[in-house]
Chain A
Amino acid sequence: MKDLIALIVFGIVVAALPLFVSSGFVLNIVIMTLYAALLGQAWNILGGFGGQFSFGHAVFFGTGAYAAAVLQVKFGWNAWAALPAAVALGAAVGAFIGALSFRYGLRGSYFALVTLAFAEVFRILSNTFDFTGAGVGLMIPLTESAGNFQFTSRTGFLYVILGFTLAACLVAWWLKHSRYGAWLQAVRDNEESAAALGVNVFRVKLGATMISGALMSAGGVFYVQYFHYIDPHIAYGPGVSIEALLAPIVGGIGTLFGPLLGAAALHLFGELTRSFMGDAPGISLMVYGLLLVLMVTFLPRGIMGLLSGSPPVRKGGSRA
């Protein structure tokens, strides 16, 4: 229950932020942090709670982004109407990939590779077909109004992404406290034992993939509405997949607040390194990379591990 209260407090604090913050610079950082947290939490539901590490979560992100863009550009849909359709399509792609992978017992690095391969296949397909704009990509017409999911101020986008992120966190909270969540974590810890206890492993993993895919595609829709442009590399390239798994790895895999903390830390580091070293090309990225290596080395359970009193790393790298 404490988790839920903390989540509600977090939501209220962020929602109240525009009352005290007028700087677009600050609001943009908060928006992009919440966006990274959403992607991170989507990955965390499958990778952290379900133990199915994906290296190709961009496949869901890109599907959501392209669905929203295609429905608006080619079929004249309103962006709000395109949102549930895109989310449903993300879940459907999750069901398709999950069914194929789990049906043939793919797990561990094999599952990671197959998701990576699917993202690449989708990238090539979107690069080929005209209805996705092929290599040219798709641009959303600029018609700024709340009714078009294109807000004139940052505040509107802040509330939308806050809503998406809180929804993802509530799903994670539910996984921590529900029977389905217990099944999922049991499958993560020992698939054979879970199956022996009567858990339908296939269905549980499939459900997690669909939820994860739906949330990830919501992130894709948000990206398209915020930046108004999508192309195959942005949608299905490795950048998004890496961004999705970095936040929970840094924050704490399989925890409720890990992706939020990870996204906040990563964006804070990113902004600071860019602010102070932006004039020397590449240095900021090198420092950012170094910080990541240090965090992963010394905080293997992420920031949540540090906060929950994780034992320190002993000499030689082993844990106490």
Chain B
Amino acid sequence: MGKQNSNRREFLKRSAAVAAATATGLAGFPAIVRGQSGPIKIGVLHPVSGALAYSGGLSRLGAQIAIDEINAAGGIKSLGGAKIRTVLGDAQSKPDVGVSEVEKMNAEGVSAIVGAYASAICLATTQAAAKYNIPHVVDVGVADQIVERGLKNVFRFAPGYRTVSQQAMNYLHIMNTLAGKPAKTVMIIHEESLFGTGTANLLSQQLPGMGYQIVDVVKHANPTRDFNNIVLRMKALNPDIVIPANYYNEYALLVRTMKQQNVQPKAIFSVLGGGASSFKFVKEFPDVANGIIDCNHWYNPKDKRALALRRKVEAMKGQFYTYEVFLNYQAVHLLADGIERAKSRDRAAIIEALSNSTWDKHFMPYGPTKFVNGQNQGAQPLMMQVLKGDIKVVLPNTYAQAEPVFPWKA
């Protein structure tokens, strides 16, 4: 009953907020009337419905856990313990809806926004937020253009696409060199959108310069429900390393088809989105997971706070500890630190505080934050491998939990 009452109250509050926002706009008064007391409103904007709903839901979960923790620990202390109030937004996996949500959040008087997971949505929402000088902490959005357009309100804590891809090639090369360079040929299989095509382009341009021969680059549609032909071709070409750059379902199907057809390269190596950075994959496909390698966003495995959050998330029914969860968790904490130091809920003051951020109370392998043009300079991915049914960091050595097993012998 209490829950129902709460929902009804929330519904009425929202109706009043939308009506008020519209009315103030129509009356010609400034639409943004930010209260100088009471809770600090933070927009949490993700694609929680549509094609990206799964990732969007996990992103929202990570942000919400962080906000609950901050509030439980006494809120923003420099503002007299002001609590954070979440203003949730659903971009419905579309950039235009993301912009509409930013407008609504602005009308509701948010001090900052965290989101919006996908690059295409982030490009639109960061720019919409810039019109109102709303600080926008980008949680994932790996496209480098997000932080290359000179928008002063945009801050990305995690690494961008170029850094991840470059680092992935470095790790691959180190691993291969340490093993005596057994791998000479590479086959890339990628999905057709920005993520897969961009990865394939970058790798196929740069790997030959590092001494690898690209034997084939195969593009596939989303969704693809049959990889038999691609794997037959793989069997004929017999590459040393297979690099898939695709989404979860296609990745799982590809790796399982390889297993069925008994194709065993020396490594299955992914950039930003393979099975070795997904506890879900390791749990659902234990027969094919062992040995696979990923270069992706990952936490410092030696940090107890990261492990505590993992336990907390895994205790929730049906939830997995993914990069969406911990990157959003950290993005909210980064923002909270900025508000704490700004000692203000004013947007410009928060932007200033984030620009000068040297925050180190996080569990990512980044070191203290330092933003240049909105990009955290220390952000880097890690390389993981599934070993004995668990995900282990294998490179770089500072964070490694195990030695990489390469070449992999099934």
Contacts and interface: CB of A to CB of B under 8 A. Distances in A.
B90 A281 contact: yes
Contact of A142 (B97, B127, B201): B127
Contacts of A142: 127, 149-151
Contacts of B57: 281
Given A23-B24, A135-B196, A136-B197, A229 B95 contact: yes
Interface stretch (B14-22, B347-355, B375-383, B388-396): B14-22
B166 to A, nearest CB: 17
Contacts of B24: 23
Interface in A264-281: 271, 274-276, 278-279, 281
A73 to B, nearest CB: 12
A148 to B, nearest CB: 13
B198 interface: yes
Interface string A20-39: 11111111110010000000
Does more than half of chain A's interface fall in helix, strand or loop, or is it mixed?
helix
A23 B21 contact: yes
Interface stretch (B28-36, B247-255, B281-289): B28-36
Nearest to B201: A136
A140 B107 CA distance: 27
A21 B26 contact: yes
Contacts of A231: 120, 193-194
Interface in A229-243: 229, 231-234, 239
A150 B61 CA distance: 35
A25 B106 contact: yes
A52 interface: no
B100 A29 contact: yes
Contacts of A135: 191-194, 196-198, 219
Nearest to A239: B94
B95 to A, nearest CB: 5
Does more than half of chain B's interface fall in helix, strand or loop, or is it mixed?
helix
B216 interface: no
Given A28-B99, A135-B192, A23 B26 contact: yes
A281 B49 contact: yes
A137 B18 CA distance: 35
Interface string B77-103: 000000000001110101111011101
B128 to A, nearest CB: 8
A275 B25 contact: no
Contact of A23 (B22, B48, B197): B22
A227 B22 contact: no
B123 interface: yes
A285 interface: yes
B196 A26 contact: no
A306 interface: no
Given A20-B28, A228-B124, A229-B120, 7 more contacts: A20-B26, A23-B31, A136-B201, A232-B192, A233-B193, A239-B94, A281-B90
